[in-house]
A and B are shown apart, each in its own frame.
Chain A
Amino acid sequence: MSLDKPYLDVPGTTIFDAEQSRKGFQLNQFCMSLMTHDNRERFKANERAYLDDFPMTEEQKQAVLARNLNWCISLGGNIYFLAKLGATHGKNFQQMAGSMTGMTEEEYRNMMIAGGRSIAGNRFVGEDGTAQAQHQPQGTSTANGRL
């Protein structure tokens, strides 16, 4: 029997399950390496050369170089690992989360101050809430997903 995945119908959400974990292992191992100052500096000095020391797929390396967290997550990354990459680039969790929505930093921050994203229409794929596929991207960011 294969894995039971009752969460696949939650819109705009990727659950870090065994399948994602297998896909993302080397990507997430790379992220863990950024937990020392020296490695962060070495990575920033030459991102491509640093990435080539890890047996990641070429697409995973491209996603890291593009600083595109949605892309990284689709390749098995998880936000708590990717946070090390964000931190290396001087970003906080709000900037990281916001970068995945299409909103500018200010638009996302204002949404949070106004009480956050509403659950209405965002429980099941096929409803009409802001996280649904038909409403992407959500804001006016021109960063194209780049953190």
Chain B
Amino acid sequence: MAKITASVFTSHVPAIGAAIDLGKTAEPYWQPLFAGYEFSKQWMKDNPPDVIFLVFNDHATAFSQEMIPTFAIACADQFKPADEGWGPRPVPVVKGHPDLASHIAQSVIQDDFDLTIVNKMDVDHGLTVPLSLMCGQPAADKFEWPCPVIPFAVNVVQYPVPSGRRCYNLGKAIARAVESYDQPLNVHIWGTGGMSHQLQGPRAGLINREWDNAFLDQLIADPAELAGRPHIDYVREAGSEGIELVMWLIARGAMSDQPPKVRHRFYHVPASNTAVGHLILENT
């Protein structure tokens, strides 16, 4: 049987991808940020997953206003890095896991969560930046990510976006789906986006360090209570784009009910406009 053994939470700021792609990671501005992921890269090597279930949001890349799925599971065998306007990131094509993805889709949909199934999709910085942060730059002679990835896109761009409670319960359904898959796969689930940031209007640049850290505390210790927090709290306290944090509740919901082991915790301001938060939790 497949099993979710760990969850990873991280911001997915596009400028982090650009810093990696342009070789700027050692610059004074970026060095403290990347230092916070040194542990994580080693942890990935020491605890390699067979598959990563990667929860992210599409930033008006694969999904325009023409179609806006609230939850979309990608079942293709590969996904190209998207051209978001600056040209595609020079990172490997993301290999999917169609068999497990289709199994999860079937299980979760029959468990009353109406997912959209996607069979062709380019993936933007929301998915590739977390891979870069956790896996580092793939070597030129082995230009690939370390394992297959199932992209799972959540609408947090156009309102209404899903509630924290819905996300948390969906995570539980995903865990049930993984556990009913008949291959012995080690699965990691990642929740990405956030933390506090606002990219628009006169309030652009908002950072709320205290709120972010309280969110991290509660995500670890009492996610069921955190899941009840209404959208307006995220918007008011963590900025209009801070709403991305509801996605972290999907990954947290997919963890066991036992208190997790906190393997790593990191927080840094700023990366471009954004507060970067990062956690690695292991199931106990």
Q: Are A97 and B273 in contact (CB under 8 A)?
A: yes
8 A Cβ contacts from A1-46 to B:
6-7, 10-18, 21, 24-25, 28-29, 31-32, 34-37, 40
Asked if B232 and A6 sit within 8 Å, CB to CB, the answer is yes
Give the docked Cα–Cα distance between A85 and B85 (Å): 8
Contacts of A87 in B (CB 8 A): 84-86
Whether, in the assembled complex, A65 has its beta carbon less than 8 Å from a beta carbon of chain B, the answer is no
**Interface residue A131 (Cβ < 8 Å from any Cβ of B):** yes
Smallest beta-carbon distance B87→chain A, Å: 7
Look across to chain A and name the residue whose beta carbon is closest to the beta carbon of B202.
A12
Partner of A93, one of B64, B207, B272, B275: B272
Q: Which residue of B lies closest to A132 (CB)?
A: B202
Check A78–B157 contact: CB distance below 8 A.
yes
Q: Please tell me if the beta carbons of B83 and A131 are within 8 angstroms of each other in the complex.
A: no
Is the Cβ of B158 less than 8 Å from the Cβ of A21?
Answer: yes
List residues 45-85 of chain B with CB under 8 A from any CB of chain A. Answer: 59-61, 64-66, 82-85
Neighbour of B84 across the interface among A14, A73, A84, A111, CB < 8 A? A84
CB atoms of B85 and A101 under 8 A apart: no
A118–B86 Cα distance when bound, in Å, is 31
Q: Which residues of B contact A83 (CB under 8 A)?
A: 59-60, 84-85
Task: Indicate if the CB atoms of A12 and B203 lie closer than 8 Å.
Answer: yes
- Which 10 pairs from chain A and chain B are nearest by CB? A116-B207, A87-B85, A12-B202, A12-B203, A131-B203, A97-B204, A80-B60, A84-B85, A112-B270, A17-B159
